[in-house]
Structure 1
């Protein structure tokens, strides 16, 4: 059996972007910067949609989201993520199931 990296498996998925209608939003970006010291979403998101800027700001790019809901659970303390499934026909397209 040949070992395959997670990144290579994720590359097999495709994502159909619903331009102008992201299915995830950060409700108040100031909360991420001032109240959330650990910013777990930047570490736990398997698709890497959340990134921490040098000034403490968290940036969200939903392209490539796996729709796993991890960010919704991780951020439950602050309730700062508005998350819903994308409209039909949009979002992640899994190649292998």
Structure 2
């Protein structure tokens, strides 16, 4: 089974008012070598636009695994507010 098929089984309750993921220093993020957050996230939450020199975060697809916090010191991450975030269908 492909990872995309497995991710389809995950549900999300998106908090439209507040993102639980951010970037602490966007200027330092621009200088990051290799941008590990863009390929280490299993859900593909992060992408970098070279033309705009900006990291895009699709926070509503976050699996809350915390991998991004380990590989990038510029990512700010906290658990979503109560009732929001990832909802696993099978436990």
Q: What is the TM-score when the length of structure 1 is the normalising length?
A: 0.85
Q: Which has the higher strand share?
A: 2
Off by >3 Å, runs of 4+ in structure 1: none
Q: RMSD of the TM alignment (CA)?
A: 1.1
Matched, 1:66 2:71: no
Deviations 1:14-37 (A, max 9, x none): 111111211111112221112x11
Range 53-62 or range 38-47, more displaced: 53-62
The superposition leaves residues 4-54 of structure 1 with CA deviations (integer Å, 9 ceiling, x where unpaired) of 1111011111111111211111112221112x1110000001111100112
Q: Separation in 2 of the partners of 1:80 and 1:66?
A: 19
Counterpart CA distance in 2 for 1:54 and 1:24 is 20
Size of the alignment, in residue pairs? 90
Q: Which runs of 5+ in 1 are unaligned?
A: none
Normalised TM-score (structure 2): 0.91
